Amino acid sequence: MIDPHVHLRDGAERAKETLEHGLGVAWRAGLDGVFEMPNTDPPLTGWYAICRRIDDADRAIGRLGIGIFHGVWAGLTTDPSQIEDVVRSWAELRPRVVGLKLFAGPSTGALGVTGLEAQRAVWTRLAELGYDGVVAVHCEKESLFARLPDGSVDWDPAQPSSWAGARPPEAEIASVADQLALSAEAGFQGTVHVAHVSVPGALEAIVRARAAGRRVTCGLTPHHALLSAVDMDRPDGMLLKTNPPLRPVGVPGLMLEALLAGGIDWVESDHAPHTLADKREGFASGIPVLPFWPRFMRMLREQGMEPDRLVRVTHEAACEALDVAVEDSGREPDPDLEREYPFDPFADSLTPDARSPR
């Protein structure tokens, strides 16, 4: 089992988590590999930072005495020479560098490439360089966020579910359309991976692009399959703030159905832990999801997903798309994992689909 989308922490972010802790939890959850996103501190946007991160992860894995595969998504910026540097890092360090990540929308860290022309320039540069690997894209179009007259995002921390309205489904749908169009126009030869797809409208655009012969994949998180914005109205709902936000009641069930029906390529957790203070006082986006893998697998089995399809969405599809070989060990998970973080996003959910037997 592989988690192709995690945010590990360390160094300046040690209060949130360490590489050793994150990798250890992943291993105990039954995962044989994790692919780490680049919006770390410092960000993984160049050869030196990437090599250092791989070294740090290898040391943590050595201390833990585990056999987990650690891969890195290298971050893209608008700087043409930086893009060349990460493409070379991918070519020389693969499979440890599994692909490239484009934040076509603002999220944690400063890697947002939010303007249409800047995004066009990135796709054009990747095409010029002949990059034919995978680009994972965070799709949320910033110009469609709800704004106050002073330019700040229009949401009310006293009512955390307002985050869902501030970054609406239309922003994701429009961004997916933008990235598919821009990458095609640029002559991009690789695969566009839409990370954490969260609404049916985005999925429809992906299905149309695939039908037109494009290499497009998408991943679904357990939280976008099981939790909805109403969960943010329960006590301490701020802890569920994430990007893209949790969607209205009814939407997660449709995403779960799409996963079961075969329209989604793989499951990715988007594990992104913070301290409670970062969440409650700093309104940080991101939730810890690694410990939920075993329970989500159980739920998918209970919902009728066949064993070979389960292996497909939790291992094979990502390995194939990224051309990374990781052995699927089928290890039993540690059942005591769910109390590893100060809170469990999936406990006490108000969304009907999440109320599956534990």
Binding site for Zn ion (CB under 5 A): 270
Please state, in angstroms and rounded to a whole number, the distance separating the CA atoms of residues 87 and 91.
6
Beta carbon of residue 235, minimum distance to Zn ion (angstroms, whole number): 26
H or E, element range at 104: strand 97-104
Q: At what angle do helices 169-186 and 200-211 cross, to 10 degrees?
A: 20
Per DSSP, the three-state class of 278 is helix
Closest CB to Zn ion among 20 and 270? 270
Q: Cα angle at 217 between 333 and 248, to 5 degrees?
A: 75
Q: Which is nearer to Zn ion, 32 or 270 (CB)?
A: 270
Which of 178/270 has CB closer to Zn ion? 270
Considering only CA atoms, which of 283, 285, 288 is closest in space to residue 273? 288
Considering beta carbons, is residue 231 or 270 the nearer one to Zn ion? 270
Closest CA to 197 of 279, 149, 297, 268: 268
Determine the Cα–Cα distance for residues 321 and 158; give it in Å rounded to an integer. Answer: 42
Choose between 186 and 202: whose C-beta lies nearer to Zn ion. 202
Report, in Å, the least distance between residue 159 CB and Zn ion.
Answer: 24
Phi, psi angle pair for 75, to nearest 5°: -85, 140
Minimum separation from the CB atom of position 198 to Zn ion (A): 12
